[in-house]
């Protein structure tokens, strides 16, 4: 009897050990693989109603529907986006706080000396669209190609002005890249956003600018403005007859911005992979792609987490080089 009782106790003890081991092994995994099980907070560093906000809601509304969890988008556009990025950089790395990633995420830490965050505080979890821009001139400029424009400016040094619609924004960095490569002698005129800059371009107060195609397509069609090239992975459907900067012979200045999303560094890899898979699933839905294309945005092909990290690192170095060469600094 004692022998039987001893064997029963041994079997029971072994079962308890196995059960404990099972809990230790599967508990954390379940905590990660059931992500998301509550609402997600996305802090947007740009204004509500702008192109970043519109593109974000197109994608996150569908992802929220698939996951059956709310994704709350909160716009915090103050301080050139630095307020939003600073907040997310300090958030708990559990996958429930996201931010928007754009060129300024990589550029701002190199232009503002006082920031307490950098692009290294974030891990990219999705790249959804390319944000093309266009090199646009006043029609009085006697040039119909990029090469003709460069030749004209070199023959008229110090005469032309260009519209800077926002220091650190993608159009300004693209312009800086173009001017770094061509060494043109022109003057920058600062503006608070693209619309007022476009109005002055049409009035010939400035002679050229880099701008989102959606802001100028109607003015190009009417002849009020002239587009020389598109900074994009492909030609813009809004400007189908305008070549890309690469097609025009200047691939080194074809620096195309992309819109994406990131989480605080330290977020567990299974959670990162789940978010990446979610964005990739959404971006293959035709209605989502069509809605983004109607905003003059070009959908990005699906990428895994490692590919996203490579894109993020490569573009960070590109923007760093542009900022160094152009000596772009923002005073405190």
In terms of Cβ atoms closer than 10 Å to its own Cβ (0-12, 13-18, 19+), residue 43 is buried
pLDDT recorded at residue 24: 42
Nearest residue to 121 via CA among 67, 154, 82, 80: 82
Sign of the CA dihedral 56, 58, 59, 62?
Answer: positive
pTM: 0.82
User: Which helix (DSSP H) or strand (DSSP E) does residue 34 occupy?
Assistant: none
Q: Model confidence over 24-60: pLDDT tens digits?
A: 444 444 444 689 999 999 999 988 888 899 999 999 9
| CA atoms within 13 A of residue 275's CA, in its CB half-sphere | 31
Residues ≥6 apart with Cβ < 8 Å to 120: 265
pLDDT recorded at residue 319: 93
Q: Model confidence over 116-143: pLDDT tens digits?
A: 999 999 999 999 999 999 999 999 999 9
User: Which two structure tokens, joined as six digits, stand for 235?
Assistant: 């030609």
Q: Omega before 301 cis (within 30°)?
A: no
pLDDT recorded at residue 43: 98
Q: Model confidence over 299-317: pLDDT tens digits?
A: 999 999 999 999 999 999 9
Strand residues in 160-236 grouped as ranges (E): 161-164, 187-190, 208-211, 226-231
Q: Please compute the mean of the pLDDT values over residues 213-233 and round it to a whole number.
A: 94
How far is C-alpha 287 from the chain's CA centre?
Answer: 21
pLDDT recorded at residue 128: 97
Q: How far apart are CA 259 and CA 298, in angstroms?
A: 10
169 falls in which pLDDT band (50, 70, 90)? Answer: confident
Residues ≥6 apart with Cβ < 8 Å to 4: none
| CA atoms within 13 A of residue 261's CA, in its CB half-sphere | 30
> Hey, what domains does the chain have and what are their CATH numbers?
40-131+256-326 (3.40.190.150), 133-253 (3.40.190.10)
Which pairs with CB-CB distance under 8 Å and at least 24 residues apart come from 46-53? Answer: 46/75, 46/77, 46/81, 46/100, 46/102, 47/75, 47/77, 48/75, 51/131, 51/212, 51/214, 51/295, 51/297, 52/100, 52/102, 52/259
pLDDT exceeding 90 applies to what percent of the chain? 75
């Amino acid at each position: 009897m004692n022998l039987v009782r001893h064997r029963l106790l041994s079997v029971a003890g072994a079962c308890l050990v196995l059960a404990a081991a099972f809990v230790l092994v599967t508990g954390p995994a379940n905590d990660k693989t059931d992500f998301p099980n509550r609402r997600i907070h996305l802090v947007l560093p740009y204004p509500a109603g702008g192109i970043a906000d519109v593109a974000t809601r197109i994608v996150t509304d569908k992802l929220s529907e698939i996951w059956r969890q709310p994704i709350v988008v909160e716009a915090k556009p103050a301080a050139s986006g630095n307020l939003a990025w600073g907040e997310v950089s300090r958030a708990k790395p559990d996958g429930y706080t996201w931010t928007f990633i754009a060129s300024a995420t990589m550029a701002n830490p190199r232009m503002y000396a006082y920031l307490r965050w950098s692009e290294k505080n974030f891990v990219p979890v999705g790249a959804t669209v390319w944000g093309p821009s266009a090199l646009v001139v006043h029609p009085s400029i006697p040039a119909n190609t990029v090469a003709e424009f460069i030749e004209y400016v070199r023959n008229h040094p110090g005469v032309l002005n260009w519209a800077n619609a926002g220091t650190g924004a993608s159009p300004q960095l693209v312009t800086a890249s173009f001017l770094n490569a061509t060494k043109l002698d022109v003057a920058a005129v600062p503006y608070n956003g693209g619309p007022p800059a476009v109005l002055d371009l049409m009035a010939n107060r400035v002679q050229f600018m880099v701008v989102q195609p959606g802001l100028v397509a109607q003015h190009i069609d009417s002849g009020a403005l002239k587009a020389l090239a598109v900074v994009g992975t492909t030609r813009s459907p809004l400007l189908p007859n305008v070549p890309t900067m690469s097609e025009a012979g200047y691939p080194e200045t074809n620096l195309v911005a992309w819109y994406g999303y990131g989480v605080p560094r330290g977020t567990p890899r299974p959670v990162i992979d789940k978010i990446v898979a979610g964005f990739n699933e959404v971006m293959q839905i035709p209605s989502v792609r069509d809605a983004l294309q109607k905003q003059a945005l070009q959908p990005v092909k699906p990428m895994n987490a490692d590919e996203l990290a490579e894109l993020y690192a490569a573009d960070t170095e590109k923007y760093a080089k542009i900022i160094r060469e152009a000596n772009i600094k923002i005073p405190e």
